[in-house]
Amino acid sequence: MARAGKRSPYKKRKIDPPGMGPGISAADLLDDYFCAYNSARLKEAAHLLVKKVLEPDVTVGVSVSGAMTPAGLGAGLLIPLVKAGFIDYIVSTGANLYHDIHFGIGYDLFESSPFVDDVDLRKKKLIRIYDIVFDQDVLLDSDAYVRALCRGPEFQKEMGTTELHWLLGKYVAATEEKLKLKERSLLAACYRYDVPVFTPAPGDGTIGMNVAAAALTGSKLKLDMNRDIFESAAYVYDAKASGGKSAVLILGGGTPKNYILQTEPFIQEILYVDERGHDYFIQLTDARPDTGGLSGATPAEAVTWGKVDPEQLPDAIVSYCDSTIAFPLLTAYMLSRHKPRPVKRLYRKRDEVVYKLMHAGSLQAKRMIGVEKRMEGKR
């Protein structure tokens, strides 16, 4: 007879998965077979998402780094989550948004192999992203498409990257409809559902380069990064000040991770507005903190910066796993285990929430000036 273990807070559930059979769903795979190590962390992340993060009063931001849209994660995963109301705003590298445009204007990317002759690819005018290939004309035509838009009347002003991406999404959505394409572009979906999309480093990407190039032919478009900093923090501040909570789901690291997390230090330590940090933190990463490669490091370290509420550390999870493996599983889990939420359409509220944060910051202006004066003697 098997001996029963004593009850203990350290004992969550007996490891006793049933023998696997055919036809198992992705959600059941996580629930029943991800019992230890990083698979267990991924299951914990899935449970946190459906039990807490996807509640109606939680504002969910997702950061995306690495070449995710060329790998199909835009149309395959992010768009369904946007439509379900599970993503309220996005912080992405410019590269992901640029490559997303290819799909929305009718071009194709193809599965290939990383073990190919790159010199031969160059001769054949094929571009490679690890095991993805596509024609060079995809880039050239996408560049021309973006530059032409940047010379349009709606673009002739200074704006933040959310407005730039909303306008780009507007025209990509129209191109999708003209070509009778069905929901291929994330930017188009974010336009349709008013999901703000930020790029922290627009100059480090092809959209930014084309904005610069368009200036040579008369475009007056300029990007206002001050606006972006206020707007990204304002969505977080509004969520918390309105009695709700803030969650971040981080795919990879890099600038998007830091940017989505710096919203809280900006509120607390730069503007001196009382806040405590994000309530829920989930990251998928294959980087390590001890080499400096895990940008922003761990949730516990992020507490010291004010990025994560220290009382919410049990709701901060890192799964050390490739996003192209883990994120499809999490997406399947969310869509099968949680009903859709009302879409928040934060883009429509952007001026309102920015004003609210700037007003809160202006009330603390004396504190800011006082600190600055104390530092004058050190100049």
Phi first, then psi, for residue 140 (nearest 5°) are -65, -40
- The answer to whether the beta carbons of residues 235 and 88 sit under 8 Å apart is yes
Give the ranges where 193-291 is alpha helix by DSSP (H). 206-214, 225-241, 254-261, 263-265
Closest CA to 98 of 58, 130, 141: 141
Alpha carbons 368 and 64: distance in angstroms, whole number: 33
Q: Measure the CA angle with vertex 282, ends 235 and 273; round to 5°.
A: 35
Phi first, then psi, for residue 159 (nearest 5°) are -155, 165
Selecting among 307, 344, 356, 366, the annotated active-site residue is: 307
- The answer to whether the beta carbons of residues 84 and 340 sit under 8 Å apart is yes
Question: How is residue 78 annotated by DSSP?
Answer: I
Q: Is 373 a catalytic residue?
A: no
318 three-state secondary structure: strand
Alpha carbons 20 and 182: distance in angstroms, whole number: 36
To 10 degrees, the CA torsion angle through 208, 214, 218, 220?
A: -20
Alpha carbons 351 and 196: distance in angstroms, whole number: 12
> What tokens were used for 301?
């370290």
Closest CA to 260 of 94, 92, 98: 92
- Alpha carbon separation from 282 to 16, 278, 328, 331 (Å, rounded): 27, 11, 15, 13
Residues annotated as catalytic are 307
